[in-house]
Amino acid sequence: MLDTLLEIAATPDWISPTLALVQTFLNRPSVGFNVPAGTEWSTYTIEDLLTGVGIKVWGLTLVNDTIIFRVRQAQARYTHYMLERAGVPYYGGLNEASSSRELQSKAVNKTQAPTRGLLDHCLDSINNFTNNL
């Protein structure tokens, strides 16, 4: 009996990743952040910092000297702001460069003239043919 309890206790933690996966599915879209564990910031202080201002945090785990957590995508920019303001060293989250590039490309696409389709080319060919007769 004692061997069975020790064997169950020695198995890798599968409940936390499964719970985080379910929470990620329920709170999608989401963004992941990583904080080096060798700093003054712990999982509890990061959670307190972010939940104290209304940011929903889940999946807070420590893996290979890295604190990993997720937030809703709608709260990711505010999370960036709060982490920067508090001086938390982090990586991950939204890629600001790609976001600004996407916004710029959308602005350029709105100003460009619409492209001509296949029907326009066919009608031009017919028009040229009839004009040459």
Residues 26-60 pLDDT 10s: 777 889 999 998 889 998 999 999 999 999 998 88
Give the whole-angstrom CA distance, residue 119 versus residue 49: 58
With beta carbons less than 8 A apart as the criterion, state whether 78 and 55 touch. yes
With beta carbons less than 8 A apart as the criterion, state whether 24 and 70 touch. yes
List the chain residues with pLDDT less than 50. 96-101, 103
Nearest to 28 by CA among 70, 72, 59, 94: 72
Please report the pLDDT score of residue 2 as a whole number: 64
Please report the pLDDT score of residue 97 as a whole number: 35
With beta carbons less than 8 A apart as the criterion, state whether 71 and 51 touch. no
Count the neighbouring beta carbons within 10 Å of the beta carbon of residue 33: 24
**Looking at this protein, which amino acid is placed at residue 73?**
Q
**Please, what are the domains in the chain?**
2-95 (3.30.70.260)
